[in-house]
Chains A and B, each alone.
Chain A
Amino acid sequence: MTAATITALRSFADTTARVTVPSRERKLAFSFRNVTKQFGDKTVLQGIDLDVHDGQFVAIIGKSGCGKSTLLRLLAGLDKPTSGELVHGAETKDQKPTRIMFQEPRLLPWARVGANVDVGLTGIAKGREVRQKSLDILAEVGLADRSEEWPSVLSGGQRQRVALARALVGHPSILALDEPLGALDALTRIEMQQLLERIWLSKKFTAVLVTHDVAEAVSLADRVVVIDSGRIALDLAIPVERPRRHASPELAFFERQILDQLYKQKAP
């Protein structure tokens, strides 16, 4: 981040009312400490240091192959770092899981919608409690009346909403999202972004969204992290109040900065 960017950011932040900047007293959700990940000879992530506070919405942006998905897989525990460590925040007695949502919904085609959501409660709840919780969360994503349908009859956006319900039904403390809206059409995508924001605001989990859509990142996140060749190239707060309006000038301002960083241009 150049000095010019910081001043530009500050002056902008001052003019924005009711800024949501994470306070210092907030608990740490997770922390990457000097994390490096190699696959064979190829270094995908190099010396990543990243602290994320509880309840923050972080977007991770980068070009294809920059290591952003690897970062997410490390966070979700699907891979182990080659060196460095990943520390999870103060975990209580009832340890809450980290959930990950992929670009594909990954629903079980042989299970009805409700039963697919039940998968999210594996080892968490049993019996009738499961059914009730699944129905409740399906209602929240707007699919209350579809729980007896087969996934094959749903649209792409609806399937992704079922996947979201499955990820959230166990009340995760961290939700990792690996380009979950990447395969959706533009209009469904905006709907899903609004749904995601609304649910995040009500459930207060920590969200980590990997995307290559800069507009999506600035409209959803409190903080955008740009990754370039395995390193953090930019860590930018987006102090714009919610609910945010799509394509508003405030968001466009931050979008510009991120694009400049991605394409290595000086801020004007």
Chain B
Amino acid sequence: MSRALQSIGRSAIGWLLPALLLVGWEIASRAGLISANVLPAPSAVGSAFWKLLLSGELLENIRISTLRALSGFVVGGAIGFGLGLANGLSALSRGLTDTTIQMIRNIPHLALIPLVILWFGIDEEAKLFLVALGVFFPIYINTLLGIQGVDPQLVEMGRIYGMSRSQLFVRVILPGALPSIFVGLRYALGIMWLTLIVAETISASSGLGYMAMQAREFLLIDVVVLSILIYALLGKLADALARYLERLSLQWHPAFQNA
């Protein structure tokens, strides 16, 4: 009983600071310390949220943005994971592709936006391409690092016990690389939102970034702030999901065992 309370207390403590900030902000707004033209009160943002929620506009934009983010993530993540595996397992593949990938990695992917708009216009492909490109690198690098970091003594052990190549991969190499792959996954989720928001802000006709830009045009600061808060929540949600998966699949790791 007390243990359950403790665990609730431990997860609640992270929300204490944001809650205090909100309360302080509301008080400061009502007291006239913060002008509504600079930063609207949380209650104003709340009513904007309610209005957009009722009109269905908000949910539709969140749905579109999430769909874009996830499809870009799936495409870029799958290519990064596949290439990371291939280059981790085969010296030939690494020799062939790694130099090229490292060169491309040093170009900030957002710098490609003008080119991407020329290539794809402002259609879905442009966003998909940018998100996929942004997500690719952290997944690729961490998958590769994870595989290269697998304890060679364990690999030798697997060989001694007569594991086939596929058994060795499933039972030794992949689980050994998993902690590093999760680091890549969490990085990639952050980059996924960042890229999407930038892309939607610059060129889109729907989505959260578009909603924020439209609101700016009409000086609806409450909606702009609302969009920013939703980004924060979506980012937190994605990270929480990744952490949950991590906890689930790394139970063996001393860092994830409950004391």
A168 to chain B, nearest CB (A): 12
**Which A-chain residue is minimally distant from B172 (CB atoms)?**
A108
**Which B-chain residue is minimally distant from A119 (CB atoms)?**
B161
Asked whether B252 lies within 8 Å of A111 as measured between CB atoms, the reply is yes
Asked whether B175 lies within 8 Å of A110 as measured between CB atoms, the reply is yes
Of A106, A112, A166, the most chain B CB neighbours within 10 A belong to A106
How many Å lie between the Cα of A152 and that of B251 in the bound state?
11
Asked whether B160 lies within 8 Å of A78 as measured between CB atoms, the reply is yes
How many Å lie between the Cα of A97 and that of B163 in the bound state?
13
With A109-B252, A122-B167 already in contact, the answer to whether A100 and B160 are too (CB < 8 A) is yes
Other-chain residue from B154, B156, B162, B257 in contact with A108 (beta carbon distance below 8 A)? B154
How many Å lie between the Cα of A44 and that of B251 in the bound state?
43
* A37 in contact (CB, < 8 A): no
* B176 in contact (CB, < 8 A): yes
Of B156, B161, B163, B257, the most chain A CB neighbours within 10 A belong to B161
With A109-B253, A152-B257 already in contact, the answer to whether A97 and B162 are too (CB < 8 A) is yes
* A76 in contact (CB, < 8 A): yes
A133 to chain B, nearest CB (A): 14
Other-chain residue from B153, B160, B163, B251 in contact with A104 (beta carbon distance below 8 A)? B153
How many Å lie between the Cα of A101 and that of B82 in the bound state?
35
Asked whether A123 lies within 8 Å of B253 as measured between CB atoms, the reply is no
How many Å lie between the Cα of A241 and that of B104 in the bound state?
71
Q: Which residues of B contact A230 (CB under 8 A)?
A: none
**Which B-chain residue is minimally distant from A152 (CB atoms)?**
B254
**Which A-chain residue is minimally distant from B154 (CB atoms)?**
A106
**Which A-chain residue is minimally distant from B251 (CB atoms)?**
A150
Other-chain residue from B157, B167, B252 in contact with A150 (beta carbon distance below 8 A)? B252
Asked whether A76 lies within 8 Å of B160 as measured between CB atoms, the reply is yes
How many Å lie between the Cα of A76 and that of B157 in the bound state?
11
* A120 in contact (CB, < 8 A): yes
Interface residues on B, range: 20 to 34
Q: Which residues of B contact A120 (CB under 8 A)?
A: 161
**Which A-chain residue is minimally distant from B249 (CB atoms)?**
A110
Q: Which residues of A contact B157 (CB under 8 A)?
A: 102, 106, 119
* B235 in contact (CB, < 8 A): no
Other-chain residue from B153, B162, B175 in contact with A102 (beta carbon distance below 8 A)? B153
Other-chain residue from B171, B251, B257 in contact with A119 (beta carbon distance below 8 A)? B171
Complex interface residues of chain A between 49 and 80 (CB less than 8 A to chain B): 76, 78
* B190 in contact (CB, < 8 A): no
Asked whether A122 lies within 8 Å of B176 as measured between CB atoms, the reply is no
* A99 in contact (CB, < 8 A): yes
Asked whether B253 lies within 8 Å of A78 as measured between CB atoms, the reply is no
- Over the window 222-259 of chain B, the binary record of Cβ atoms lying under 8 Å from chain A Cβ atoms (1 yes, 0 no) is 00000000000000000000000000001111100100
How many Å lie between the Cα of A100 and that of B153 in the bound state?
12
Asked whether B161 lies within 8 Å of A110 as measured between CB atoms, the reply is no
Asked whether A150 lies within 8 Å of B257 as measured between CB atoms, the reply is yes
Complex interface residues of chain B between 22 and 75 (CB less than 8 A to chain A): none
Other-chain residue from A76, A99, A110, A123 in contact with B252 (beta carbon distance below 8 A)? A110
- Over the window 88-113 of chain A, the binary record of Cβ atoms lying under 8 Å from chain B Cβ atoms (1 yes, 0 no) is 00000000010110101010111110
B2 to chain A, nearest CB (A): 25
**Which A-chain residue is minimally distant from B168 (CB atoms)?**
A122
How many Å lie between the Cα of A123 and that of B161 in the bound state?
9
A146 to chain B, nearest CB (A): 14
A231 to chain B, nearest CB (A): 27
Q: Which residues of A contact B250 (CB under 8 A)?
A: 110
Complex interface residues of chain B between 172 and 217 (CB less than 8 A to chain A): 172, 175-176, 178
Extra contacts, 13 of them, besides A100-B160, A110-B176, A112-B252 (Cβ < 8 A), are: A78-B156, A97-B162, A108-B171, A108-B175, A109-B252, A110-B178, A119-B158, A119-B171, A122-B162, A152-B253, A152-B254, A152-B257, A166-B161
- 28 residue pairs of the A-B complex, CB under 8 angstroms, read A76-B160, A78-B156, A78-B160, A97-B162, A99-B160, A100-B160, A102-B153, A106-B153, A108-B154, A108-B172, A110-B175, A110-B178, A110-B250, A112-B252, A119-B158, A119-B161, A119-B171, A122-B162, A122-B163, A122-B167, A150-B251, A150-B252, A150-B257, A152-B252, A152-B253, A152-B254, A153-B257, A166-B161
Footprint of A on B, CB under 8 Å?
153-154, 156-158, 160-163, 167, 171-172, 175-176, 178, 250-254, 257
The 6 closest A-B pairs by CB, nearest first: A110-B175, A110-B252, A106-B157, A123-B162, A152-B254, A122-B161
